[in-house]
Structure 1
Amino acid sequence: MNHNESPVSCRVWRDGAMVEETVRKDEIIDALNDSDRLVWLDVVDAKPEALGSLIDALRLPATEIEDAFAPHERPKVSRHGDHLFFTTYATELAGRLADLEGDRLRTHRISGFVLPSALVTIRSSDFDIEPVLRAWDENSDLLKAGPRALVHGLMDTIVDGHFATIQTLDDDIEDLEDVLFEENRTGRGFQQQVYSLRKELVALRRVVLPMREVVNGLLRHGGRTNTELDSWYEDLYDHILRAAEWTESLRDMVTSVFETNLSLQDARLNTTMRKLAAWAAIIAVPTAITGWFGQNVPYPGFQKEFGLWVSVVTIVLGSLAMWWSFRRRRWL
Structure 2
Amino acid sequence: MTEVRGRMWVRGEPADGFTFSAISDCLTSEDTLVWADIYDPDHDTLTALAEELKLNMWAVEDATAPNERTKATVYRTHTFFTVYAIQMLTAVGDSTSTLVKHRISAFVLPRGLITVRLPPVAGDDPGFGMDEVSQRFDELGGQQYGVGALVHGLLDVVVDGHFDAVQDLDDGIESLEDELFDEDGPKRGLQRRTFRYRKDLVELRRVVLPMREVVSAIKSRRLDAKTSPELNPLYDDLYDHVLRASEWTESLRDMVTTVFETNLSLQDARLNTVMKKLTGWAAIIAVPTAITGFYGQNVEYPGLNTVAGFVVSSALIVLLVAVLYVMFRKRDWL
TMscore range, shorter length: over 0.9
The number of equivalent residue pairs is 325
Q: Which residue of 2 aligns with 1:137?
A: 138
Q: Which residue of 2 aligns with 1:153?
A: 153
- The Cα shift of 1:25 comes to 3.7
Q: Conserved in 2, the CA contact under 8 Å of 1:93 and 1:106? A: yes
Q: Which residue of 2 aligns with 1:323?
A: 325
CA distance in 2, matches of 1:10, 1:202: 34
CA distance in 2, matches of 1:209, 1:274: 48
CA distance in 1, matches of 2:295, 2:21: 108
CA distance in 1, matches of 2:39, 2:310: 92
Q: Secondary structure at the match of 1:102?
A: coil
CA distance in 1, matches of 2:298, 2:19: 112
* Counterpart amino acid of residue 133 in structure 1: S
CA distance in 1, matches of 2:67, 2:111: 29
Are 2:15 and 1:19 aligned? yes
Q: Which residue of 2 aligns with 1:62?
A: 57
Greater mean deviation of Cα atoms: 125-134 or 243-252: 125-134
Q: Which residue of 2 aligns with 1:278?
A: 280
Percent of matched pairs sharing the same residue: 50
CA distance in 1, matches of 2:287, 2:239: 72
* Counterpart amino acid of residue 221 in structure 1: R
CA distance in 1, matches of 2:12, 2:331: 78
Deviations 1:105-130 (A, max 9, x none): 10000000000110000013611111
Within-5 A mapping of 1:133-282? 133-140=134-141, 142-182=142-182, 185-186=185-186, 189-223=189-223, 224-225=225-226, 226-282=228-284
Q: Which residue of 2 aligns with 1:30?
A: 25
Deviations 1:286-307 (A, max 9, x none): 1222233334454442211232
Q: Conserved in 1, the CA contact under 8 Å of 2:133 and 2:154? A: yes
- The Cα shift of 1:227 comes to 2.7
Within-5 A mapping of 1:1-150? 5-20=1-16, 22-96=17-91, 99=93, 101-124=95-118, 126-140=127-141, 142-150=142-150
CA distance in 2, matches of 1:251, 1:101: 17
CA distance in 1, matches of 2:94, 2:23: 44
- The Cα shift of 1:18 comes to 0.8
Q: Conserved in 1, the CA contact under 8 Å of 2:94 and 2:189? A: no
Q: Secondary structure at the match of 2:332?
A: coil
Cα separation, partners in 2 of 1:276 and 1:41, compared to 1, 3 Å: same
Deviations 1:83-103 (A, max 9, x none): 10000000011113x646421
Greater mean deviation of Cα atoms: 37-46 or 47-56: 47-56
- The Cα shift of 1:156 comes to 0.3
* Counterpart amino acid of residue 135 in structure 2: R
Greater mean deviation of Cα atoms: 292-301 or 319-328: 292-301
* Counterpart amino acid of residue 178 in structure 1: D
- The Cα shift of 1:133 comes to 1.1
Q: Secondary structure at the match of 2:294?
A: helix
- The Cα shift of 1:185 comes to 4.1
When the two chains are superposed, the root-mean-square deviation of aligned CA atoms in Å is 1.7
Q: Show structure 1 runs of 5+ residues with no match.
A: none
Q: Conserved in 2, the CA contact under 8 Å of 1:198 and 1:251? A: yes
Q: Which residue of 2 aligns with 1:313?
A: 315
* Counterpart amino acid of residue 112 in structure 1: A
* Counterpart amino acid of residue 309 in structure 2: G
1:290 to 282, 289, 292: 292
* Counterpart amino acid of residue 306 in structure 1: A
After TM superposition, the score normalised by the length of structure 1 is: 0.93
Q: Conserved in 2, the CA contact under 8 Å of 1:180 and 1:186? A: yes
Q: Secondary structure at the match of 1:71?
A: coil
After TM superposition, the score normalised by the length of structure 2 is: 0.92
CA distance in 1, matches of 2:67, 2:20: 31
CA distance in 2, matches of 1:162, 1:51: 29
Q: Conserved in 1, the CA contact under 8 Å of 2:55 and 2:78? A: no
Q: Secondary structure at the match of 1:321?
A: helix
Q: Conserved in 2, the CA contact under 8 Å of 1:89 and 1:207? A: yes
